[in-house]
């Protein structure tokens, strides 16, 4: 069986990308015939990595014509723009799939919309979706404060069950997520499995752990997305109550909720908590090397 792993996330997170690549390499090592197809706007040029067995395809969005800047209609430019963006993306996905030979598509689940629904009708019972979150809950957790977020939520609620009903199976990184997807799939016979995320540890050398001197404890949290269940608020609340002799520093690398930043100020933890922009490579290594616990 030939498997095509389809990945069209726009994430710049090295952690997410590493997990996907590790999954592909892990399957290959198990003797499974799998190839990766990565499509997103962060890819600069089309190329095939023989070492990774991944084909990279850039997505270049062609912006709406100037007519959408005219009076009245420009008030709805966000709506036409969002729909045109996903329409162009799935048109490219469809064209690239025709170039590939496969028996099954393993698709890291994007948010649902009518174009994904049409794709699942075209490849009915040939797509297995991989889920890493409860989609509706995550969209809502970020706040439905703008028109695009509300539209994303609407499309996911409307098309998500239809998309899953057309799929061959569901893979989720936790059993909780798996049961959530099964409940909304409207397909009692759909197959499912829970497979946690992982990385190829051989690609990441072990660091030299800093010596804990009993006086200073440096905590680390890596945040790959803005959601309300990471728990940085709980750690900060605990820090505000801690009166012990050890100095505790809390480093949060990545994007976080604005409410977390406000909480840090409210609890007067500016000297203990450091919010740091997303980092990769050696810049991230420098933070990792000085932290005791992550």
pLDDT (mean) for 59-70: 85
pLDDT tier, 184 (very low <50, low <70, confident <90, very high otherwise): very high
- The DSSP element (H or E) to which 254 belongs, if any, is strand 247-254
Q: Taking CA 217 as the corner, what is the angle to CA 214 and CA 223, rounded to the nearest 5 degrees?
A: 160
What strands lie across the sheet with 47-49, from one edge to the other?
A: 47-49, 54-58, 33-40, 2-7, 104-108, 127-131, 169-172, 191-194
Which helix (H) or strand (E) segment is 237 a member of? helix 232-241
42-56, 115-129, 265-279: lowest mean pLDDT where? 265-279
pLDDT at 227 over 90: no
pLDDT of res. 278: 80
**In this predicted model, which residue has the larger pLDDT, 166 or 232?**
166
pLDDT(294) > 80: no
Quote the pLDDT of residue 149.
92
How far apart are the C-alpha atoms of 59 and 94, rounded to whole Å? 12
Res. 85: pLDDT tops 90: yes
Band of the pLDDT at 12, cuts 50, 70, 90?
A: low
Residue 14: the pLDDT is: 72
- Position with higher pLDDT, 17 vs 46: 46
> What is the C-alpha to C-alpha distance for residues 280 and 20, in angstroms, rounded to an integer?
17
Instruction: Give the least confident one: 4-18, 143-157, 262-276.
Output: 4-18
**What does the pLDDT look like over 133-169, one tens digit per residue?**
999 998 888 778 889 999 999 999 999 999 999 999 9
Q: For the ranges 25-34, 78-87, 268-277, which has the lowest average pLDDT? A: 268-277
Q: Are strands 54-58 and 47-49 parallel, antiparallel or unpaired?
A: antiparallel
Q: Residue 62 has what pLDDT?
A: 93
Lowest-pLDDT choice from 57-61, 69-73, 289-293: 69-73
pLDDT tens, position by position, 90-113: 999 999 999 999 999 999 999 999
Which domains does the chain show, CATH number per domain? 2-201 (3.40.50.2000), 205-290 (3.40.50.2000)
Residue 116 pLDDT? 97
| In contact, 189 and 142? CB cutoff 8 Å | no
């Amino acid at each position: 069986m030939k498997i095509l792993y389809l990945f069209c996330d726009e994430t710049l997170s090295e952690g997410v990308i590493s997990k996907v690549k590790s999954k592909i390499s892990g399957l290959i090592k198990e003797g499974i015939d799998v190839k990766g197809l990565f499509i997103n706007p962060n890819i600069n040029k089309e190329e095939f990595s023989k070492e990774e067995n991944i084909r990279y395809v850039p997505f270049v969005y062609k912006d709406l014509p100037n007519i959408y800047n005219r009076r009245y209609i420009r008030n709805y430019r966000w709506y036409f723009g969002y729909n045109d963006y996903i329409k162009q993306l799935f048109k490219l996905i469809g064209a690239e799939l025709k170039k590939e030979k496969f028996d099954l598509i393993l698709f890291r689940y994007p948010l649902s919309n009518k174009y994904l629904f049409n794709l699942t009708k075209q490849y009915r019972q040939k797509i297995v979706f991989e889920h890493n979150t409860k989609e509706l809950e995550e969209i809502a957790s970020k706040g439905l404060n703008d028109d695009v977020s509300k539209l994303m939520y609407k499309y996911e609620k409307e098309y998500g069950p239809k998309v899953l009903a057309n799929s061959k199976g569901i893979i989720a990184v936790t059993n909780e997520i798996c049961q959530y997807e099964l409940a909304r799939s409207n397909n009692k016979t759909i197959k499912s499995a829970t497979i946690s995320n992982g990385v190829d540890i051989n690609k990441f050398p072990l660091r030299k752990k800093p010596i804990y001197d009993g006086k200073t404890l440096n905590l680390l949290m890596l945040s790959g997305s803005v959601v309300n269940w990471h728990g940085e608020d709980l750690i900060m609340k605990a820090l505000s109550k801690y009166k012990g002799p050890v100095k505790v520093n809390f480093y949060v690398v990545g994007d976080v909720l604005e409410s977390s930043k406000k909480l840090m100020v409210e609890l007067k933890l500016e000297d203990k908590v450091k919010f740091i922009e997303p980092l990769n490579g050696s810049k991230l290594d420098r933070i990792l090397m000085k932290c005791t616990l992550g």
